[in-house]
């Protein structure tokens, strides 16, 4: 049943929104961002910062947009003199105890207090003659520092721990202007999802120790990506500074991770910056691997595939892109094929307040994609089969231990022992250096984008594998590879790379697989 | 001077009739004085009939807002789908107010009887009496009375619990009180939803002040018309009201008068006026949260809801704070602001920061370091603190500041000009 729609006017823009919508959300649809601090769409409404005061016609007092539901015919003004003065006064009140240590604050540049003060605050302060509230920095948890002096008491962190993580270790302690965020004296902020409080903090009061003083916000480039930490497929943003990944933050996707990501995923990015990479294709000359160019390496690979007959085994990483996995199989189409992958397993850590969101035990972003393409978890059997196979292809699986009488083609980012047995070793890009898709555990195909260049001559896996196909079939881009995949694989039927966009879409076959997922 | 003082001839002792009469505290003593007759009467009435009687009596909330009690009760869902609750606000913390304390100290059964009747009217099965933490003696007396009432079986199936506050002024705000009962931090909630829809534990709740409920048995017993007839001025304000007179008067204490009684007679007649040799300077008629009156306004103010509004203040809780000409109004206003700064729950920005900032400016003025722009700044901050927050604590801090500067500007200016000896206030 469609929701009943309510029409209202916000700053002279007419919008129709479902009944029960909050004014602050309706305003977004009218293209109006009502300044706010305590409100967050992923948290229960608190209505405490009083920043989102707006003028609602026929109301005697200003209303807070975050706690006012829309009504038919409502006329809202965010820019009336009264509303502007009220918000300006909130900013002034917030600043009297705020240290204005922006030059040394990690939040500077992405600070909502800076932004809104710049947008509509007073030019000068009327609070000059008093010292400001001081409390020392507190070590809240493994990756969270609390700087109480910068705190504006919006209580987002408190509400996250209480209502989303369901581990209420934070509170507001004390009263009046002495108030600060307190932590249970016998607890640490070490919940597996605790790092979200740092993202939620609108100012630089809760800081990530990992990111501390690493970069100024304006030095960062941001790229949409998918977390590789587990099979949940949380949407993330990779923050890079000078082509180095320095931070991973959640990217909102209401169907997957809402506004959150776990600490495991958050901390899981250093490998993307590894320096010990294969930077050139390598081919075997007698007992050693020698660097060469792509033409020679690809020619040698094609010769191997052309000259061999019989069985082929592919040992692949569940972190490889769906496109690479697809093309790896296609490149071995002439053989009697076995494909397998292995998955690292860890502890599962659900986020209690969000259905179907957890750090999953399977630490693999694309295990589902591999499965849909016919790869199995019978990894040991595949390793055994590899001994007598004519061709063994290892795709970014550095932990593979394989002995074979046939030819070994290795594609990877680094040079592990297995690569030293290879006839050809091809350098490929990692997830931050290419674009592609992963399929999460619920069968949702999601795109990730290129955040930084690949080192040396490394190329995306889909490209290297595509080059092994007959010339007419070689994809020109990741999009092209996906189009081929969607045409060839029934599970991906009907999906287009462009339509996946930033939010992704469900596979037809995967749809039935995600147990307990709301439709 | 004994306490409580003997009733003044001009008092209308209804609620306070048995103040000072220790025997009235016991169940037997109370029954002997006609207690629980109204409750028996109520049990024979339908809830709707009780509410109708209350509406007709014109009784209005005695906690400060003056909302018609019968109307408030009628907001509870008619068709009962969930458990209903009654909260009794005995967290009397408004500076200058000490009437509920005396009701509980001397006539605990009066409150229990009113509570029982109210619970029947709103169809509540559970009632919480939330007693201010510092009220150790009233709490013990209430506990004993409750025990006696249960032993006597008079309360039937009603479950009434005493809850003790922990010393926060803000827990007297109705929704903060409910949070406190639930074991949470006493923070006021955003409204709507109002308590009648979602109150304590998220269920339909009515909350009434002690004095309001204490009046209920008398209304049932003597009839709405009797109560309504007790009116000296505006017909919208009926019945009697306890006024706690304190400050610079000769006979501080609680005085019960009919609505519309002149404030002048209360101060000069009953409370004995200001100390000898002094003259009246100012008065806060309704507890610390209402605007201050100057002498002329005080002497012409009639004590009912409308009479106070006419003078630009409010009847509030009936805590009458009297200042004579020795009072330093700047200091007094600073003390009030400091109280609010201390008690702000810290939720709303304007209140958390504004009450403290206001206090600092006032302290600076007192210390002789004020600036010529300070009064305008104080007035502007007060405006920014009024009508913009979840509850009215912030407004309450602004009210004495604004009215104080308006009416006693000269005293502020003397400090600013360096003509008064600085006061260092901790």
Question: A412 has which bridge partners?
Answer: A427
Sheet holding A407-412, edge to edge: A288-291, A282-285, A424-427, A407-412, A391-395, A311-316, A336-341
Are the folds of A5-93 and A282-506 the same? Answer: no
Q: What is the pLDDT of residue A457?
A: 97
Can you spell out the DSSP letters for A478-492? HHHHHHHHHHH-GGG
The model's pLDDT over A434-489, given as tens digits with 9 standing for 90+, comes to 999 999 999 999 999 999 999 999 999 999 999 999 999 999 999 999 999 999 99
Residue A510 has pLDDT above 70, yes or no: no
- Quote the CA–CA distance of A253 and A267 in Å, as a whole number: 20
- Quote the CA–CA distance of B245 and B255 in Å, as a whole number: 8
Nearest one of B132, B103, B96 to B319, comparing CA atoms = B96
Q: What is the pLDDT of residue A516?
A: 35
H-assigned helices in A77-225: 81-96, 112-120, 156-159, 196-200
Q: Please calculate the CA angle A37-B402-B289 and round it to the nearest 5 degrees.
A: 80
Q: Do B185 and A93 touch (CB under 8 A)?
A: no
pLDDT band at B423 (very low <50, low <70, confident <90, very high): confident
Q: The CATH number of B240-324 is which of 3.10.20.600, 3.30.70.420, 3.40.30.120, 3.40.640.10?
A: 3.10.20.600
Q: Do A129 and B384 touch (CB under 8 A)?
A: no
Tally Cβ neighbours within 10 Å of residue B20.
16
Please report where in the chains the tokens 């006979």 appear, as a residue. Answer: B251
The model's pLDDT over A157-178, given as tens digits with 9 standing for 90+, comes to 999 999 999 999 999 999 999 9
Q: Do A85 and B384 touch (CB under 8 A)?
A: yes
Q: What is the DSSP letter of A453?
A: P
Arithmetic mean of pLDDT over chain A: 95
Q: Which residues of A fall within a CB distance of 8 Å from B190?
A: 45, 47, 64, 67
Peptide bond into A31 cis (omega under 30): no
Q: Is B389 on the interface with A (CB under 8 A)?
A: yes
**Percentage with pLDDT > 90 across chain A:** 94
- Quote the CA–CA distance of B387 and B397 in Å, as a whole number: 12
The domain over range B22-229 is classified in CATH as 3.40.50.11540: yes
Tally Cβ neighbours within 10 Å of residue A403.
12
Selecting from B345, B347, B350 the residue whose C-beta is nearest the C-beta of A89 gives: B350
- Structure tokens that stand for A77 in this block: 């003004």
The model's pLDDT over B147-166, given as tens digits with 9 standing for 90+, comes to 999 999 999 999 999 999 99
Nearest one of A357, A353, A355, A356 to A44, comparing CA atoms = A353
Please report where in the chains the tokens 């295990």 appear, as a residue. Answer: A367
Residue A3 has pLDDT above 80, yes or no: no
Q: What is the pLDDT of residue A514?
A: 37
Residue B204 has pLDDT above 60, yes or no: yes
ipTM over 0.90: yes
Sheet holding A505-506, edge to edge: A436-439, A444-448, A505-506
Are the folds of B22-229 and B329-416 the same? Answer: no
pLDDT (average), residues B332-361: 97
Please return the burial class of A252, using the count of CB atoms within 10 Å of its CB with bins 0-12, 13-18 and 19+.
middle
Dihedral in degrees, nearest 10, Cα atoms A349, A351, A355, A360: -30
The model's pLDDT over A141-162, given as tens digits with 9 standing for 90+, comes to 999 999 999 999 999 999 999 9
Residue A134 has pLDDT above 80, yes or no: yes
* Domain coordinates in residue numbering, chain B: 22-229, 240-324, 329-416
Residue B3 has pLDDT above 90, yes or no: no
Q: Do A179 and B190 touch (CB under 8 A)?
A: no
Please return the burial class of A464, using the count of CB atoms within 10 Å of its CB with bins 0-12, 13-18 and 19+.
buried
CATH number given to A5-93: 3.10.20.740
Residue A508 has pLDDT above 90, yes or no: no
- Quote the CA–CA distance of B385 and A64 in Å, as a whole number: 15
Q: Give contacts of B 25-84 with A, CB under 8 A.
A: none
Q: What is the pLDDT of residue A129?
A: 66
Q: Which residues of A fall within a CB distance of 8 Å from B356?
A: 176-177
- Quote the CA–CA distance of B126 and B119 in Å, as a whole number: 8
The model's pLDDT over B378-400, given as tens digits with 9 standing for 90+, comes to 999 999 999 999 999 999 999 99
Peptide bond into B192 cis (omega under 30): yes
* Domain coordinates in residue numbering, chain A: 5-93, 131-273, 282-506
Q: Do A177 and B356 touch (CB under 8 A)?
A: yes
Q: Which residues of B fall within a CB distance of 8 Å from A171?
A: 185
- Structure tokens that stand for B65 in this block: 């807002």
Q: Do A97 and B353 touch (CB under 8 A)?
A: yes
Nearest one of A95, A177, A96, A94 to A130, comparing CA atoms = A96
The model's pLDDT over B233-262, given as tens digits with 9 standing for 90+, comes to 999 999 999 999 999 999 999 999 999 999
The model's pLDDT over B265-294, given as tens digits with 9 standing for 90+, comes to 999 999 999 999 999 999 999 999 999 999
CB A94 within 8 A of CB A29: no
Q: Is B221 on the interface with A (CB under 8 A)?
A: no
CB A426 within 8 A of CB A277: no
Query: CATH second-level architecture of B329-416?
Result: Up-down Bundle (1.20)
Q: What is the pLDDT of residue B6?
A: 84
The model's pLDDT over B167-188, given as tens digits with 9 standing for 90+, comes to 999 999 999 999 999 999 999 9
Q: What is the pLDDT of residue B28?
A: 97
User: What's the distance, Cα to Cα, between the start and end of chain A in Å?
Assistant: 15
pLDDT band at A36 (very low <50, low <70, confident <90, very high): very high
CATH number given to A282-506: 3.40.50.740
The model's pLDDT over B39-98, given as tens digits with 9 standing for 90+, comes to 999 999 999 999 999 999 999 999 988 999 999 999 999 889 999 999 999 999 999 999
Residue B1 has pLDDT above 50, yes or no: no
Q: What is the pLDDT of residue B4?
A: 78
Q: What is the pLDDT of residue A259?
A: 98
The domain over range A131-273 is classified in CATH as 2.40.37.20: no
- Quote the CA–CA distance of A310 and A293 in Å, as a whole number: 29
């Amino acid at each position: 049943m469609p929701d009943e729609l309510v029409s209202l006017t916000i700053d002279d823009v007419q919008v129709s929104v479902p009944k029960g919508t909050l004014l602050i959300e309706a305003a977004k649809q009218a293209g109006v961002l009502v300044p706010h601090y305590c409100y967050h769409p992923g948290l229960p409404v608190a209505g405490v910062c009083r920043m989102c005061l707006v003028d609602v016609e026929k109301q005697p007092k200003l209303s807070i947009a975050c706690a006012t539901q829309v009504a038919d015919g409502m006329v809202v003004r965010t820019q009336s003199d009264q509303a502007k003065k009220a918000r300006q006064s909130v900013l002034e009140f917030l600043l009297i105890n705020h240290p204005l240590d922006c030059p040394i604050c990690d939040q500077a540049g992405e600070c909502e207090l800076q932004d809104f003060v710049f947008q509509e605050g007073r030019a000068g302060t009327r609070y000059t003659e008093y010292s400001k509230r001081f409390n020392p920095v507190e070590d809240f948890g493994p990756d969270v520092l609390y700087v109480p002096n910068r705190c504006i008491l919006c209580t987002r962190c408190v509400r996250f721990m209480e209502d989303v993580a369901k581990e209420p270790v934070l509170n507001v302690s004390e009263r009046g202007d002495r108030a600060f965020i307190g932590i249970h004296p016998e607890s640490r902020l070490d919940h597996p999802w605790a790092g979200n409080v740092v993202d939620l903090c609108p100012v630089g009061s809760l800081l990530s120790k990992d990111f501390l003083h690493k970069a100024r916000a304006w030095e960062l480039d941001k790229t949409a990506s998918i977390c590789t930490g587990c099979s949940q497929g949380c949407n993330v943003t990779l923050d890079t500074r000078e082509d180095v990944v320095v931070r991973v933050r959640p990217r909102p996707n209401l169907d997957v991770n809402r506004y959150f990501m776990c600490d495991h995923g958050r901390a899981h990015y250093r490998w993307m910056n590894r320096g010990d990479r294969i930077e050139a294709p390598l081919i075997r000359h007698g007992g050693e691997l020698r660097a060469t160019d792509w033409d020679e390496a690809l020619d040698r690979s094609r010769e191997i595939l052309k000259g061999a007959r019989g069985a082929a085994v592919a040992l692949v990483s569940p972190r490889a892109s769906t496109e690479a996995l697809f093309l790896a199989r296609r490149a071995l189409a002439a053989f009697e094929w076995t494909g397998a992958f292995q998955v690292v397993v860890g502890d599962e850590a659900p986020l209690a307040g969000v259905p179907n969101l957890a750090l999953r035990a399977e630490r693999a972003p694309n295990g589902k994609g591999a499965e849909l393409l016919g790869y199995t978890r019978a990894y040991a059997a595949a390793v055994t089969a590899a001994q007598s196979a004519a061709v063994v292809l290892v795709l970014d699986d550095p932990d593979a231990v394989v002995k074979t009488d046939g030819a070994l083609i290795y594609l990877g980012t680094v040079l592990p022992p297995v690569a030293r047995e290879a006839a050809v070793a091809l350098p490929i890009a990692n997830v931050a250096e290419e674009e592609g898709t992963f399929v999460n555990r619920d069968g949702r195909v999601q795109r990730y984008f290129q955040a930084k260049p690949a080192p040396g001559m490394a190329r995306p896996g889909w490209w290297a594998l595509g080059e092994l196909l007959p010339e007419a079939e070689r994809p020109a881009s990741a999009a092209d590879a996906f189009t081929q995949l969607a045409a060839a694989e029934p599970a991906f039927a009907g999906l287009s790379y462009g339509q996946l966009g930033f939010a992704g879409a469900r596979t037809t076959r995967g749809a039935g697989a995600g147990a307990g997922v709301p439709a | 001077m004994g306490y409580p003082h003997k009733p003044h001839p001009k008092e209308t002792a209804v609620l306070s009739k048995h103040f000072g009469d220790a025997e009235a505290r016991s169940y037997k003593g109370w029954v002997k004085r006609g207690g629980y007759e109204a409750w028996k009467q109520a049990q024979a009435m339908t809830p709707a009939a009780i509410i109708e009687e209350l509406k007709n009596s014109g009784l209005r909330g005695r906690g400060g807002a003056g909302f018609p009690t019968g109307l408030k009760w009628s907001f509870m869902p008619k068709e009962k789908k969930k458990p209903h609750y009654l909260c009794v606000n005995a967290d009397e913390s408004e500076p200058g107010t000490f009437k509920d304390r005396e009701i509980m100290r001397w006539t605990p059964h009066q409150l229990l009887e009113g509570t029982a009747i109210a619970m029947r009217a709103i169809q509540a099965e559970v009632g919480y009496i939330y007693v201010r933490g510092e009220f150790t003696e009233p709490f013990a007396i209430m506990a004993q009375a409750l025990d006696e009432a249960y032993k006597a079986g008079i309360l039937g199936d009603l479950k009434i619990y005493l809850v003790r506050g922990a010393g926060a002024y803000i827990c007297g705000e109705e929704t903060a009180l409910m949070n406190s009962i639930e074991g949470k931090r006493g923070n006021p909630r955003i409204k709507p939803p109002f308590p009648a829809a979602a109150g304590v534990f998220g269920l339909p709740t009515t909350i009434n002040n002690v004095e309001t409920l204490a009046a209920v048995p008398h209304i049932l017993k003597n009839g709405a018309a009797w109560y309504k007839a007790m009116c000296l001025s505006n017909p919208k304000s009926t019945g009697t009201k306890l006024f706690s007179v304190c400050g610079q008067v000769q006979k501080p204490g609680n005085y019960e008068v009919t609505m519309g009684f002149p404030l002048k007679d209360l101060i000069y007649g009953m409370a004995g006026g200001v100390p000898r040799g002094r003259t009246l300077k100012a008065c806060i008629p309704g507890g610390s949260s209402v605007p201050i009156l100057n002498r002329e306004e005080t002497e012409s103010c009639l004590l009912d809801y409308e009479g106070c509004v006419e003078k630009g203040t409010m009847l509030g809780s009936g805590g009458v704070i009297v200042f004579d000409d020795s009072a330093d109004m700047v200091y007094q206003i600073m003390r009030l602001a400091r109280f609010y700064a201390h008690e702000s729950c810290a939720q709303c920005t304007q209140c958390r920061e504004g009450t403290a900032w206001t206090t600092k400016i006032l302290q600076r003025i007192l210390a002789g370091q004020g600036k010529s722009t300070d009064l305008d700044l104080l007035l502007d901050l007060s405006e920014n603190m009024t009508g913009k927050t979840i509850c009215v604590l912030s407004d309450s801090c602004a009210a004495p500041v604004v009215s104080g500067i308006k009416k006693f500007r000269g005293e502020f200016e003397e400090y600013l000009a360096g003509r008064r000896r600085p006061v260092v206030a901790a």
